[in-house]
């Protein structure tokens, strides 16, 4: 794609990066076939190619974001299916991230939208606040239909519908501490405790720790670690995201210096995509660029790490597992076969749903901020999952689990919970009714 940035504009490293990304786009349109919003809405401006035009025009002309641009950029799920499809290697992820920062800095959203977004950034990354908010939200669930009648308040209705009927009890330690290997330790890893996942389903990390300990891996969950920054990062809150990133980098490098770390294990693929990107996010920070790159190199999805441990094959089980690959797993981290191979080795029959490349509509806070598109994508995904006639649905991301559980044709569990069960752990709670 031809660009017309000035030499002065290109002195800014971020602008130069955006220009290089835009120039790689050759207008081929392959991205439109796999973009969930284009497939749903049929609008060129709701395709990656269309958004690239909008971003180019905005940045090239030094223009503030306007309502039209913001409408189409907000509809992007950041699912990154376009990056998997693109034959030219367009780095759409970093372009849309930069555009969202520009929107945040130059566009004044309507007051209700601003307040909702502010509330999300002040609550979701903080487990104690999030737990308290969920308890309060349960009382407000009957109000959801009333919010649906006012367009600007629809996100509140969507938020209330996502509130689970019950919450797992919070552990006294918050899941933090050092968990010794049952055998002679063969490795030592840190595990991301996370924010939303630690409240909605702490059993995921508990299963991870149990399995790793049985396999001879010591696990540490630092009490000083914070949210990875993904939620605010994808809302254009760059400074807030980088504060979290720097905090985690310091925590994990301190762990590595004190007792060594072979990997940083992440059980929420959305978080994993962001932590693996710390090196890029902080590449212009002279104090953290090298540190961030080191942490990104240590970050591993739990299934990536398990593939290095050579788990033994288990007896076949009379259970059909449909694997839902989260977008952040297959498109963000390019992990496509490891989870399925591990499940097969554990004795499960593994099925793939049709249109597995399409997003389920969760996408961080997307199912709150864009409830109508999200709901359409959810129903499409559930239809494809149901067609496989699953006994169980497995996935590697808490956002997808929360999105798909209402209306799911089978129990939805994290991949690691099934693997823990197959290798001597308890059955996942979701399978017990």
Which of 213, 139, 15 is closest to 205 using CA atoms?
213
| Residues 198-211, mean pLDDT to the nearest whole number | 95
- What does the block give as tokens for 216? 């001879």
Query: What is the per-residue pLDDT for 166?
Result: 87
What is the full DSSP assignment across 188-250?
EEEE---SHHHHH-THHHHHHHHHHHHTTEEEEE-TT----SHHHHTTT-HHHHHHHHHHHHH
Per-residue pLDDT reduced to its tens digit, 209-244: 999 999 999 999 999 999 999 999 999 999 999 999
Instruction: Please work out, in degrees rounded to the nearest 5, the angle formed at the alpha carbon of residue 193 by the alpha carbons of 296 and 91.
Output: 35
Least confident stretch, 158-172, 183-197, 417-431:
158-172
Scan for tokens 């104690």, then name that residue: 128
Which of 170, 241, 180 is closest to 215 using CA atoms?
180
pLDDT at 433 over 70: no
pLDDT at 68 over 80: yes
- What does the block give as tokens for 259? 């007792």
Per-residue pLDDT reduced to its tens digit, 396-408: 999 999 999 999 9
pLDDT at 171 over 90: no
pLDDT at 75 over 80: yes
| Residues 11-16, mean pLDDT to the nearest whole number | 95
Query: What is the per-residue pLDDT for 389?
Result: 98
Query: What is the per-residue pLDDT for 432?
Result: 82
- Percent of the chain beyond pLDDT 70? 99
pLDDT grade for 183, boundaries at 50, 70 and 90:
confident
**Average pLDDT of the chain to the nearest whole number:** 95
90 vs 84: CA distance, rounded Å: 10
Scan for tokens 């490891």, then name that residue: 338
Scan for tokens 């809405």, then name that residue: 41
CB neighbour list of residue 287: distance below 8 Å, 6 or more residues apart: none
Dihedral (Cα; 146, 150, 153, 159), 10-degree rounding: 40
pLDDT at 261 over 70: yes
112 vs 284: CA distance, rounded Å: 34
The half-sphere exposure of 297 on its side-chain side, counting CA atoms within 13 A, is 8
pLDDT grade for 175, boundaries at 50, 70 and 90:
confident
Chain centroid to Cα 5, Å, comes to: 33
User: What does the DSSP 8-state code read for residue 32?
Assistant: G
Per-residue pLDDT reduced to its tens digit, 240-250: 999 999 999 99
Q: At what angle do helices 154-162 and 127-140 cross, to 10 degrees?
A: 100
- What does the block give as tokens for 338? 């490891």
pLDDT at 25 over 80: yes
pLDDT grade for 173, boundaries at 50, 70 and 90:
low
Which of 307, 303, 375 is closest to 333 using CA atoms?
303
| Residues 202-215, mean pLDDT to the nearest whole number | 96
CB neighbour list of residue 54: distance below 8 Å, 6 or more residues apart: 45, 68, 69, 72, 73
342 vs 411: CA distance, rounded Å: 19
Query: What is the per-residue pLDDT for 14?
Result: 94
């Amino acid at each position: 794609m031809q660009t017309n940035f000035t030499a002065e504009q290109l002195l800014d490293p971020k602008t130069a990066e955006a220009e290089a990304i835009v120039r790689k786009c050759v207008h081929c349109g392959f991205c439109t076939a796999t973009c969930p919003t284009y497939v749903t809405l049929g609008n060129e401006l709701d395709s990656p190619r269309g958004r690239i035009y909008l971003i180019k025009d905005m940045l090239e002309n030094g223009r503030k974001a306007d309502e039209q641009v913001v409408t189409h950029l907000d509809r992007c799920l950041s699912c990154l299916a376009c990056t998997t499809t693109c034959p030219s290697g367009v780095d759409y992820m970093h372009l849309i991230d930069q555009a969202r920062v520009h929107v945040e800095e130059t566009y004044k959203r309507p007051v209700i939208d601003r307040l909702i977004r502010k509330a999300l950034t002040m609550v979701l990354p903080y487990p104690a606040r999030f737990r308290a908010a969920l308890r309060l939200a349960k009382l407000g669930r009957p109000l959801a239909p009333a919010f649906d009648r006012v367009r600007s308040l629809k996100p509140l209705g969507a938020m209330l519908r996502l509130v689970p009927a019950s919450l797992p009890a919070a552990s006294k330690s918050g899941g933090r501490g050092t968990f010794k290997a049952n055998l002679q330790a063969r490795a030592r890893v840190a595990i991301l405790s996370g924010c939303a996942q630690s409240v909605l389903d702490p059993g995921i990390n508990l299963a991870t720790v149990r399995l790793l300990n049985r396999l001879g891996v010591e696990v540490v969950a630092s009490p000083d670690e914070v949210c990875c920054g993904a939620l605010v990062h994808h809302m254009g809150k760059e400074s807030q995201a980088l504060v979290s990133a720097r905090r985690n980098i310091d925590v994990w490098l301190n762990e590595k210096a004190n007792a060594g770390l072979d990997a940083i294990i992440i059980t929420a693929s959305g978080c994993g995509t962001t932590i693996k990107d710390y090196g890029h996010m902080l590449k212009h920070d002279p104090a953290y660029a090298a540190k961030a790159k080191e942490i990104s190199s240590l970050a591993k999805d739990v299934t990536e790490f398990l593939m290095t441990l050579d788990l033994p094959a288990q007896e076949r089980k009379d259970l059909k597992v449909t694997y839902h690959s989260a977008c952040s797993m297959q498109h963000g981290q390019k992990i496509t076969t490891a989870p399925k191979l591990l499940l097969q080795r554990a004795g499960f029959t593994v099925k793939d749903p049709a249109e597995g490349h399409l997003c389920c509509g969760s996408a961080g806070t997307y199912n709150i901020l864009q409830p109508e598109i999200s709901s359409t994508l959810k129903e499409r995904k559930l239809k494809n999952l149901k067609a496989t006639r699953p006994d169980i649905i497995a996935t590697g991301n808490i956002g997808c689990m929360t999105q798909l559980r209402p209306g799911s044709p089978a129990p939805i569990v994290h991949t690691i919970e099934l693997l823990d069960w197959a290798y001597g752990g308890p059955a996942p709670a979701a399978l017990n009714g």
